[in-house]
């Protein structure tokens, strides 16, 4: 919290990962989540909070890349 950073993992299905078979919102829950994501992005931007998002697919298939990227972004 002191660094004003939020880290989220977005589910491929629930957040319509464009790099998956779920690239377009077909269900109400997907549409709601995409709307919430936009609001959250704007809120974070307006409050100078860094929002780092990762896709479920990347967590599952490229965990070493996610860790490396986090280290870079968090300067670890």
> Around Cβ 9, how many Cβ atoms within 10 Å?
14
pLDDT band at 75 (very low <50, low <70, confident <90, very high): confident
Structure tokens at 69: 């990227």
List the one residue out of 10, 51, 45 whose CA is nearest residue 29.
10
Q: How far is Cα 40 from Cα 71, in angstroms, rounded to an integer?
A: 23
Over residues 56-74, the pLDDT tens digits come to 999 999 999 999 999 999 9
**CA dihedral in degrees (65, 70, 71, 75; nearest 10)?**
150
Distance of CA 44 to the CA centre of its chain: 13
């Amino acid at each position: 919290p002191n660094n004003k950073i939020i880290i989220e993992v977005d589910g491929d299905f629930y957040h319509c990962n464009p790099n998956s078979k779920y690239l377009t919102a077909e269900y109400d829950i997907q549409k709601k989540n995409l709307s919430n994501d936009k609001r959250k992005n704007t809120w974070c931007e307006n409050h100078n909070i860094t929002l780092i998002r990762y896709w479920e697919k990347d967590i599952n298939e490229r965990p070493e890349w996610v860790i490396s990227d986090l280290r870079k972004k968090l300067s670890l």
